[in-house]
Amino acid sequence: MLSTMTDLLSQDEFLATLREIGARKYHDKHRFHVLMNEGRLTPAQLRVWALNRFYYQRSIPAKDCALMARMPAPEDRRRWRQRLLDQDGTGPGDEGGIEAWLRLVEACGATRTEAWEGVGLLPGVRFAVDAYGNFVRDRPWLEGVASSLTELFSPTLMSVRIVAFETHYPWVAAEGLTYFRGRPTRANKDSDHAVEIVLRQCTTRALQEKCLAALDFKCDLLWAQLDAIYLHCVSP
Amino acid sequence: MLSTMTDLLSQDEFLATLREIGARKYHDKHRFHVLMNEGRLTPAQLRVWALNRFYYQRSIPAKDCALMARMPAPEDRRRWRQRLLDQDGTGPGDEGGIEAWLRLVEACGATRTEAWEGVGLLPGVRFAVDAYGNFVRDRPWLEGVASSLTELFSPTLMSVRIVAFETHYPWVAAEGLTYFRGRPTRANKDSDHAVEIVLRQCTTRALQEKCLAALDFKCDLLWAQLDAIYLHCVSP
């Protein structure tokens, strides 16, 4: 018997549907990433990418704080807090994701000042990143959690990227790859928690559909950033 | 020569003016606190107070997350993050301020379920606490920081309260006073950071006035909670 749009999906069906969205729309398939992984980007193009994606990276703690501000359970907030520690760092020796990305910016030949000042920040990137912040601030917190589920798909992309950089862009100092090396473990822990929340909270098909839409939206905003970058520096 | 409303106050003048607001309006002077410190509250009245003030306590991490979501500097966000750890706890042995307040609730004869479910939560308390969350979410982040400066005045109130409880309310188990014992040290650290931010960011008299108004507003919302509690259970 076919399920209708009102039947609650089983946890397996729901997870499979979330994964299908990633298989179809996650930005690992964007042609800018394909060029990157094939070693076909110039230093200037990588620099534009690193600088623009810094705007995304610097916005992540604000997104997570906005989300935690609306999480009702201290237990969830405590566990989600780890993302804040990961991205902002905890002190010397553990400077966090923002600092790691700044080192990538430098390894790509730009400066951290340019990154903080948003030099060359493309409007399409800004709009997409800001849309993420607004979504998490304004939509029900559960949808904010669901939007983070692209982390289910990021470990593979990170692993491919590390090899691609080592193979094709040896001029990017190893120091610049710190962000990518740290992400898979963290992303797995983070998505474990997000999956747990989403499975626990989605007690109706309507809520499941909202979460699927949130993940779809998140894929769109990641994709839109690469569209803007591609149009600007690969195919102007 | 008299300063006008357009002259920047010196740091000493500015700090003195902030302290004047506390001297005039901080809720240590509210008659409910006077009765409390004189040992003149009944167990039922203390219970109403502990339950109602729990709504404030549980809202503090959300307030701090909303504020951090808008802080531009990672350094400030990292330092402010300590408040989140203090209130939500870090793990076994350090359960945080919310848990400590739940133990006070229990020591006063109510249950943690009643606290979480908002049993007996007075509308006036809810409105005042929600006004704080809205203020921090909607106003410039600097004003949110300034609104936290009541922590300049809380250590004295906490010290007086511990003695008052030990003297007048021996039926409240020592375990229930954990929250008060931990606050002065934390409040001093927190207000050091908030003062540093406010002094650094207030580069015009207009900004100084906004911060003074924010602290004034915060005193109002603390006071309004006690008004509601007093009217309900001391002078109905």
Is A68 in Cβ contact with B74 (below 8 Å)? no
Considering only CA atoms, which of B149, B233, B128 is closest in space to residue B199? B149
Partner residue opposite B69 with nearest CB, options A65, A77, A85: A65
Q: Which amino acid is at B103?
A: R
The size of chain B, in residues, is: 236
The pLDDT tens digits for A209-229 are 999 999 999 999 999 999 999
Give the distance from residue A166's alpha carbon to the nearest chain B alpha carbon, in angstroms.
30
Gap between the Cα atoms of B199 and B211, Å rounded: 10
Sorted by where each begins, the domain ranges of chain A are: 11-233
Is 50 exceeded by the pLDDT of residue A64?
A: yes
Instruction: Quickly state the pLDDT bin for B3 (edges 50, 70, 90).
Output: low
Is B68 in Cβ contact with A74 (below 8 Å)? no
Gap between the Cα atoms of B146 and B140, Å rounded: 10
Q: Which residues contact B164 (CB under 8 A, 6 or more apart)?
A: B36, B37, B38, B39
Partner residue opposite B65 with nearest CB, options A69, A96, A98: A69
Question: Which residues from chain B sit within 8 angstroms of residue A98, using beta carbons?
Answer: 74
Instruction: Quickly state the pLDDT bin for B1 (edges 50, 70, 90).
Output: very low
Question: Which residues from chain B sit within 8 angstroms of residue A94, using beta carbons?
Answer: none
* 3-state helix, strand and coil shares in percent for chain A, rounded to the nearest 5: 80, 0, 20
Is 70 exceeded by the pLDDT of residue A52?
A: yes
Is 80 exceeded by the pLDDT of residue B202?
A: yes
Give the distance from residue B175's alpha carbon to the nearest chain A alpha carbon, in angstroms.
21
Chain B residues bordering chain A (beta-carbon distance below 8 Å): 58, 61-63, 65-66, 68-70, 74, 77-78, 81, 84-85, 88-90, 96, 98, 137
Is B98 in Cβ contact with A78 (below 8 Å)? no
Is 70 exceeded by the pLDDT of residue B64?
A: yes
pLDDT at residue A106 in the model: 98
pLDDT at residue A3 in the model: 57
Complex ipTM value:
0.89
Partner residue opposite B74 with nearest CB, options A63, A88, A137: A88
Is A81 in Cβ contact with B68 (below 8 Å)? no
The pLDDT tens digits for A120-144 are 999 999 999 999 999 999 999 999 9
pLDDT at residue A1 in the model: 44
Overall fold of domain A11-233: Heme Oxygenase; Chain A (1.20.910)
Is 60 exceeded by the pLDDT of residue B50?
A: yes
Give the distance from residue B94's alpha carbon to the nearest chain A alpha carbon, in angstroms.
12
Gap between the Cα atoms of B117 and B120, Å rounded: 9
Considering only CA atoms, which of B11, B81, B33, B67 is closest in space to residue B214? B67
Is A70 in Cβ contact with B68 (below 8 Å)? no
Is 80 exceeded by the pLDDT of residue A5?
A: no
What is the residue-averaged pLDDT of chain A? 96
pLDDT at residue B93 in the model: 87
In eight-state DSSP terms, residue A91 is B
Question: Which residues from chain A sit within 8 angstroms of residue B77, using beta carbons?
Answer: 61, 65, 84, 88
B18-40: average pLDDT: 98
3 state SS of B63: helix
Considering only CA atoms, which of A182, A217, A215, A174 is closest in space to residue A198? A215
What is the residue-averaged pLDDT of chain B? 96
3 state SS of B91: strand
CA angle (A34 as vertex; A31, A36 as ends), nearest 5: 110
pLDDT at residue A93 in the model: 87
Residue that is written with structure tokens 């980007």 in the block: A41
B91 pairs with which residues across the strands? B94
Considering only CA atoms, which of A111, A94, A93 is closest in space to residue A102? A111
Question: Which residues from chain A sit within 8 angstroms of residue B70, using beta carbons?
Answer: 62
Is 90 exceeded by the pLDDT of residue A192?
A: yes
Is B70 in Cβ contact with A69 (below 8 Å)? no
Other CB atoms closer than 10 Å to residue B201's CB: what's the count? 17
Partner residue opposite A77 with nearest CB, options B68, B77, B88: B88
Question: Which residues from chain A sit within 8 angstroms of residue B58, using beta carbons?
Answer: 74
CA angle (B141 as vertex; B139, B142 as ends), nearest 5: 105
Q: Kindly state the percentage of chain B with pLDDT values over 90.
A: 94
Q: Kindly state the percentage of chain A with pLDDT values over 70.
A: 98
